[in-house]
Structure 1
Amino acid sequence: MKKYLLFDNDGVLVETEQWYYEANKKSLNEIDVELPFDVYMEIMARGGTAWEVAKKHGHTQKTVDEQRRRRDIYYREFISSEHIEIDGVVDVLEELSKEYSFGIVTTSRRVDFDLIHSQREIVKYMDFTLCVEEYPRAKPHADPYLAGMKKFNALKDECLVIEDSQRGLSSAVNAGIDCAVVENTFTASHDFSSATYKIKTLRELPTLLKSLKR
């Protein structure tokens, strides 16, 4: 029986993935490097970084480090000014909090995560939040979700991961934990064939969980 829900953050609880792409693209454009969406999607799916493209164009690590710093600035500007709410998230968390315990497991940096949630109510429903600095290897490795499971002192069968990307799904699969993938137009090209469940929006999660009790 499921008792613990491990949520991805970006694309599941807040709509930030588009703005992370835009920040990367803007930063790379400053050094005359294009970042086509399909290329970015392939990199994202396997857990790479946009800076691979810069290095393929012959840019040095020093240049990459500077543009990464600028990317981070652009991203923080985007998430501070753009609409990143996902309709129904707080309602679903409120409903499910009566029966389940929650954690967030994200590849976001803590500084960005805290900025995203500083004026939102999402994290008040969470028992913990894990950012990329707080486990050994990022998604698609198993480490993030194994760390989340350990936080709950839970068994794998007691947990359900909620994801929206191939990289995140791979992390759950590698950890041996069931995963429900939420449909997201941004990651529509990803391979979700190994997902345990698929739902169109987070609002369908309570219905899914009820069906698992039967």
Structure 2
Amino acid sequence: MITHLLFDHDGVLVDTEQWYFEATREALARLGVVMTFDDYKQHLVDGASSWTGAESQGATPADIDGARSWRDDRYQHYLQTCDIDIDGVAEVLSELAQTYQMAVVTTSKRRDFELIHRDRVLLDDMAFVLCREDYLEAKPAAQPYQAALKRFDIRRDQAIVIEDSRRGLAAAEAAGIATVKVHNEFVAFQRAASDYAIPSLGELPDLLRGISRSEGR
């Protein structure tokens, strides 16, 4: 019986991924490296670093560290100035909180995460949040979701993961947890298997009701 929901963050609860790409693209351009969206997509598929191109063109570790720092600041600028809200998410979470315990499991850095939610209410019903600093191995490793199971003190069959990306779905699968894939146009090119798929988070309550009926809940 599913009693707990584990949510990915970027691309599921907020629309931030395009701005991380844009900040990275601009940072690489400062090093003389052109990165297209097709390049970025391939990096996501391969799990490769976006900075490899800079290294091959002679950028030093210090150059890359400086560009990363600039990228991080630029990304925070976008988080504060761009519309990253996804319609209906707050209402969906409020509804689901009446039935399920919920948490966020994200690869976001905590400083970015806290900036995003400084003036938002999406976390009001979350039991806890696990950010990148809270575990050693990032997605697609199982550790982030294993940590969430341990924090809740539940079995894996009591949870379901809501993700949008192949790496996130792979992490949940590695942890032995059922998955729901939410469509996200920015990463729609990624082919990823999941137990369930929905076009938007707004469809999640109905999906979970159907699962509950099939479980005899």
TM-score w.r.t. length of structure 2 = 0.95
Instruction: Please tell me whether residue 210 in structure 1 is matched to residue 217 in structure 2.
Output: no
The answer to whether the Cα contact below 8 Å between 1:46 and 1:140 also exists between their aligned partners in 2 is no
What are the within-5 Å matches in structure 2 for residues 22-61 of structure 1? 22-61=22-61
In structure 1, the partner of 2:119 is: 119
- Using the alignment, how far apart are the partners of 2:150 and 2:176 within structure 1? 13
The answer to whether the Cα contact below 8 Å between 1:107 and 1:132 also exists between their aligned partners in 2 is yes
Instruction: Please tell me whether residue 198 in structure 1 is matched to residue 188 in structure 2.
Output: no
The answer to whether the Cα contact below 8 Å between 1:47 and 1:139 also exists between their aligned partners in 2 is no
What are the within-5 Å matches in structure 2 for residues 68-79 of structure 1? 68-79=68-79
Give the superposition deviation at 1:20.
0.2
The answer to whether the Cα contact below 8 Å between 1:11 and 1:184 also exists between their aligned partners in 2 is yes
In structure 2, the partner of 1:173 is: 173
- Using the alignment, how far apart are the partners of 1:155 and 1:62 within structure 2? 45
CA 1:46–1:4 in structure 2 vs 1: closer, same or farther (change >3 Å)? farther
Report % sequence identity: 44
The answer to whether the Cα contact below 8 Å between 1:6 and 1:159 also exists between their aligned partners in 2 is yes
Give the superposition deviation at 1:58.
2.8
What are the within-5 Å matches in structure 2 for residues 94-173 of structure 1? 94-173=94-173
- Using the alignment, how far apart are the partners of 2:205 and 2:190 within structure 1? 24
Unaligned runs of 5+ in 2: none
TM-score w.r.t. length of structure 1 = 0.97
- Using the alignment, how far apart are the partners of 1:82 and 1:181 within structure 2? 25
- Using the alignment, how far apart are the partners of 1:198 and 1:115 within structure 2? 30
Size of the alignment, in residue pairs?
Answer: 213
- Using the alignment, how far apart are the partners of 2:144 and 2:100 within structure 1? 20
Give the superposition deviation at 1:56.
2.9
- Using the alignment, how far apart are the partners of 1:66 and 1:42 within structure 2? 24
In structure 2, give the amino acid aligned to 1:93. L
- Using the alignment, how far apart are the partners of 1:53 and 1:13 within structure 2? 31
The answer to whether the Cα contact below 8 Å between 1:47 and 1:140 also exists between their aligned partners in 2 is no
- Using the alignment, how far apart are the partners of 1:169 and 1:68 within structure 2? 27
The answer to whether the Cα contact below 8 Å between 1:179 and 1:196 also exists between their aligned partners in 2 is yes
Unaligned runs of 5+ in 1: none
CA 1:121–1:28 in structure 2 vs 1: closer, same or farther (change >3 Å)? same
